[in-house]
Chain A
């Protein structure tokens, strides 16, 4: 079945450091891929998405490229800020599978000044 695997957290960085959060997936069809972010005390918000191979999603300085050959969708940011501290979820949707979004377990990012 379809699944998403994220790197275990927490990830602790200093302000302006480079961020990578790894995400790999298993899917039977041609999924769309998403990154969601959850700030403390809030629900999940869509951060970026990509719907086909080689697409790059980007938002608020974050980027992720849909890599079909490595079944990956790693999240990156060149210079993190304290305000980026949150939990990040990788997710996929596979219309052929007929199921709703499948989420990874989430990675907690903590950025200190």
Chain B
């Protein structure tokens, strides 16, 4: 138990559906992250939020839309996904200052997404 929870743990959706992934951290951290982990590919950083402000968006397609309403919650809204978007989506959090990132991240268990 890392203090970071993700729901749902598994999700199957069609290409025309709209769904959302939820991440919650109980660690008092101010930075939160979304990663995509596909089979046989490196871990891909998607989005970074620090103090609720988005600080990184690594060329992620617009069919993925993040939302960070407060420092404890992070959402990933999904719409019109493609089968190649099937992957494990990991959320993480860390305690950072305002001048940069230096600390270890705590990961949730991930959401296994399958797009049909």
Contact = CB atoms under 8 A, between A and B. Distances in A.
Interface of A: 32, 34, 36, 41-46, 49, 89, 93-101, 103-106
Nearest to A41: B109
Nearest to B9: A41
B112 to A, nearest CB: 9
B90 interface: yes
Contacts of A45: 2, 107
A105 B107 contact: no
A18 B54 CA distance: 43
Contact of A97 (B45, B92, B100, B107): B100
Interface residues of B, number: 24
B48 A100 contact: yes
Contacts of B101: 93, 95, 98-101
Nearest to A42: B109
Which 7 pairs show the lowest CB-CB distances between chains A and B?
A43-B107, A95-B100, A95-B102, A44-B107, A105-B42, A98-B100, A43-B109
B59 interface: no
User: Which of B4, B90, B92, B107 neighbours the largest number of chain A CB atoms within 10 Å of its CB?
Assistant: B107
